[in-house]
Amino acid sequence: MPAYKAPLRDMRFLIDHVFDFPAHYAALGATEASPDMVSAILEEGARFCENVLAPLNRPGDEEGCHFDNGVVTTPKGFKEAFAQYVGGGWHGLAADPAYGGQGLPSSLGLVLSEMIGSSNTSWGMYPGLTHGAMSAIHAHGTAEQKDTYLSKLTAGQWTGTMCLTEAHCGTDLGIIKTRAVPQANGSYAVTGSKIFISAGEHDMSENIIHLVLAKLPDAPAGTKGISLFIVPKFLADSGARNGVSCGSIEHKMGIKASATCVLNFDGAEGYLIGEANKGLNCMFTMMNHARLGTGMQGLCLGEASFQGAIKYANDRLQMRALTGAKAPEKPADPIIVHPDVRRMLLTMKAFNEGNRALTYFTAQLLDTAHLSDDPQQRQQAEDLLAFLTPICKAFMTETGLEVTNHGMQVFGGHGFIREWGMEQLVRDCRIAPIYEGTNGIQALDLLGRKVLGSQGKLLRGFTKIVHKFCAANAEHPQLKAQVAQLNELNQQWGELTTKVGMAAMKNPDEVGAAALDYLMYSGYIIHAYLWLRMALVAQAQLDAGQGDADYARGKLATCEFYFKRLLPRTSAHRAAVEAGSDCLMSLPAEMFAL
C-alpha cells in the first residue's frame, strides 16, 4: 500500500499565498484561527493521519466490517482510532462552542477532512456523516433538540447518519414509502426500510442518531410531502433501545471498511425536525455537506494514488529513453523518463492540485456564508456555493476516478495486484460518482436548476469573477496567452448556455442530453481559472526570489501542461452539448434489446 504523506507544502501554498487564509479569517473576525493555530492543525492532523489512519487502510479493506444478527463490528483498530480522534478534539474542530466545539472556521475542518480521506477513506465516512447530521440539527432543530443531541455528537459519544434511499427508489425521493404516524406524546412512530445507509450501524460510538426522511399520513404526494425525523438508536431520555435495527450490510466493490447498512424502522420513536412536509429542505443542509465531502473523495484518493505512482515511476526500471539512456549505470531507465508515463503523472498532478484549489476556494465561501456580518457578502457566497456544489461533487469525482486509474496504470501489471494497494484506491473511488446523487443528477441540478433555473444569474456570479481576473492580468508578461485562452472560454461559456436554454424551450430533453458534458465543460474552465491563480503566485515568487524555486517552477510547468493538454477537452464537451438530444432519444427503447 502506498505510504501516505500529507502534502503540507501544497496546502500551505494555497492557504498562505493563493487564498490568503490569514486575511480571510481576519476579515471574518475569526481571530482564533491564527497562523499558529492553522500550522498546529496541519502538523498534528498530518501526524494522526499518517501514523494512525493510513496503516489501517489496507487491513481494513482486507478485513471489512462484520455482521452478526444485527450487530456490526468495524475492522481491527478502527474503534481505537476513533477514540484517539475524539480524544484529540478533532471531531469538534469546526463545531459550535455552545455545544462543546472549538468554533474554528469550516475551511479548517475541510483541510483536516482531506488528510483523513487520503489516508483512510472508509474510516473517514464515520465522522464525516456525523458532521452532516450536526449541521442539519444545528440549522433546523429546536432548542431542545440541539441541547439533547449536539453536545453528544460534537463530543463523538454519539454519531449520526442520513437515511434517504429505499430499495424501490434511489434519487426519486418523492415515492418513498417510509411512514411516520403522530403519537399522543408528540413523537412519531416511524416505519419503513432504508438501504445504502453509510455508518448506519457500528461499534465506534455509544449511540447513533439517524435523520430519516418519511411521510406523514396526510402528506401531499411527491417531494412536497416529505418530512424529516430524528430517530436515535437508543432513546436519549431513557437509554432504551429504539425500534431500529440493521438487517444486513452490503458486500461492496470498495470502501469495504465503511458499514453500508440496510436499516429497518419498526414503529421507531422519532421526532420531527423542521416543518412538516419540508423535510427535503432540511435534509439539503446535510446533503450539500455530504456532496462537498464526496467531491473531496476524488481529491483524496487521487492524492494517495499519485503518491504511490510517482515513487514507483522513479524506482521502476524498464526500457531506455527514446532520446538515449538516462541512467547508463543501470540495466534500464526508470519509467518516469517515458513520455506516456509523464502524461499520466502530469494529468494526476494537474487534477489533484486543481481539485485542492477548488476545495479551498469553496471552503472560503462556506466560511463567508456562515460567519460574515455583511448580508450581501453572505448572499453572494451562498449563490456561488449553490453553483459550485454540483460541480465539486461531479467534476472532482470524475477526475479523481481518472487519476486513480492512471495511478494503477503506471504500475502496469503490478497495479492490478492487491498487495501494491493501487487497485484498492480505484475500487474505493468508484462509488464517489454514484452516491450523494449520481453525477448525472448533479449535472441536471447544475444546468437545469442552478443555471437555467436562475436565468443565468448563478453562472454570471462566477463568470464575472473570471472576467475581472482576466482583465486585470491580460498583459501579464509570462501568462497572458493562458489568460487570453481563459477569457475566450469564459465568454463562450455564456454563449453555450444561451444556446442550450433556447433549445430547451422547444424540447426539455435538451437539458438532460447536455447536462453532464456541460458540467464537465464548466469544471475544466473553473480549473483553468484556479490554475492561473496558482501560476500568478508561483511566478511572482520566482521573480522576487522568494520561496522554493523548484516548487514554483513545478507549478508553472503543470499549469502549462493543463492549458495545453487538458483544457482542450472543453472543445469535445462543447461539441457534445451542441449535438443535442436527437441522437440520444431517436432510437426506440425496444431496439436496445439484443
Q: Which residues are annotated as catalytic?
A: 436
Distance CA 563, CA 180 (A): 54
Whose grid coordinates read 463545531?
A: 95
Phi, psi (degrees; rounded to nearest 5) at 322:
-65, -25
Which helix (H) or strand (E) segment holds residue 86: the answer is helix 78-87
* Helix (H), strand (E) counts: the chain: 19, 9
What are the angstrom distances between the C-alpha of 256 and each of 4, 115, 159? 19, 19, 19
Distance CA 283, CA 163 (A): 10
What is the distance in angstroms between the CA of the first residue and the CA of the last residue of the chain?
Answer: 42
Ordered alpha helix ranges (H), 316-374: 339-371
Distance CA 371, CA 373 (A): 7
Q: Which long-range contacts (CB under 8 A, 24 or more apart) does 560-566 make?
A: 560/482, 561/346, 561/350, 562/350, 562/354, 562/527, 562/528, 562/531, 563/482, 563/485, 563/528, 563/531, 565/343, 565/346, 565/347, 566/347, 566/350, 566/351, 566/524, 566/527
Distance CA 118, CA 298 (A): 9
Any residues with CB less than 8 A from the CB of 14 and at least 6 apart, and which?
A: 356, 357, 360, 534
